[in-house]
A and B are shown apart, each in its own frame.
Chain A
Amino acid sequence: DIVMTQSPDSLAVSLGERATINCKSSQSVLYSSNDKNYLGWYQHKPGQPPKLLIYWASTRESGVPDRFSGSGSGTDFTLTISSLQAEDVAVYFCQQYYTTPHTFGQGTKLEIK
């Protein structure tokens, strides 16, 4: 199985400041034939199901605010929230869908400083 490791485990950021979450895969999730990274990001708030934010490592899902962006390739990826809002408090997960099982990172808890 591909192991997904996120850092940090938790993060406290002031409102309006930038938040950066990292995700590393144990093997590349870049498919050379189409040059796509099979990596997604999800936001999970208590009592709700996870919400898809980003797919193909950097494509925002419809309706997701443009303060959320994804970057990276191969084995190293980043989710950036450019200006933290109160409603962004949540746990964030990365997931690889390069090969089954589609494994998740352990999650990063984002709080307001």
Chain B
Amino acid sequence: QVQLQQSGPGLVKPSQTLSVTCAISGDSVSSNSVAWTWIRQSPSRGLEWLGRTYYRSKWYNDYALSVKSRIGINPDTPKNQFSLQLNAVTPEDTAVYYCARTRAGVLDYWGQGTLVTVSS
């Protein structure tokens, strides 16, 4: 059974970096048949796909254009986890952030969600 456990601060100051980690159990971040994805949800934006990382003999990333200049999604193979960094945050980045496993395109396992508020 795959489980995803998220961790990270719930409050980030404007212009700083948001960072959330997703620890994986029951699968491997280096699996060559799935991808590892970040999504966020806010009242103003709804559900927004942010990007993914996946391993197919080497590591790949895809990012949404809306955040491409500010985002990093990085695997940590020794710890079997992956992380989201979002730079230069503004109050518009306030949202619940979810990690998820992507299998053949769909999100079949999700983390519990992390509410991140951007405020001074």
What is the interface of chain A, defined by CB distance below 8 A to chain B? Answer: 1, 38, 40, 42, 49-52, 55, 61, 93, 95, 97, 100-107
Contact = CB atoms under 8 A, between A and B. Distances in A.
A101 B107 contact: no
Interface of B: 46-49, 51-52, 62, 64-66, 98, 100, 102, 104-108, 110-113
Given A104-B47, A104-B48, A107-B47, A49 B105 contact: no
A49 B65 contact: no
B49 A42 contact: no
Contacts of B65: 1, 101
B49 A52 contact: no
Interface SS majority for chain A: loop
Contacts of B104: 55
A52 B107 contact: yes
A98 B20 CA distance: 27
Contacts of A104: 46-49
Nearest to B112: A49
A42 B46 contact: no
A1 B52 CA distance: 16
Contacts of B108: 52, 61
Contacts of B46: 104-107
Contact of B47 (A38, A52, A93, A100): A93
A40 B49 contact: no
Given A97-B102, A97-B105, 14 more contacts: A40-B107, A49-B113, A50-B98, A51-B110, A52-B106, A55-B106, A61-B108, A100-B62, A101-B62, A104-B47, A104-B49, A105-B46, A106-B46, A107-B47
A52 to B, nearest CB: 5
A55 B105 contact: yes
B105 A38 contact: yes
B107 A50 contact: yes
